[in-house]
Amino acid sequence: MSILLTDIFSVPPVQAAGPAAPVHQSSSGPPAAIRRPGWWSWLDRPLQRIALREIADDPRLLGDLGLSREEALREAAKPFWR
């Protein structure tokens, strides 16, 4: 068995490869995989359209959304896949 002895000054220090990647990004909102259109939006659309149908008779709330009553009802009547 051989032992290699060296002093600490003969070994070059280890340099970082670059800036460290963040461990996680902002926690505001759902993860990117969920935000993308796909199956998640299919599950959420019926609930949004039910809520839109419920506020269709309140002109103040529709004004906040920038929709007329007819536009709100037309959107609420769409099937979940559209």
Domain ranges of the chain: 36-76
| pLDDT of 15 over the 70 cut | no
Whole-model pTM: value is 0.49
Model pLDDT, residue 23 = 55
| pLDDT of 70 over the 90 cut | yes
The model's pLDDT over 18-69, given as tens digits with 9 standing for 90+, comes to 666 555 555 566 566 555 556 667 788 889 999 999 999 999 999 998 999 9
Model pLDDT, residue 17 = 62
Neighbours of 52 (CB within 10 A): 20
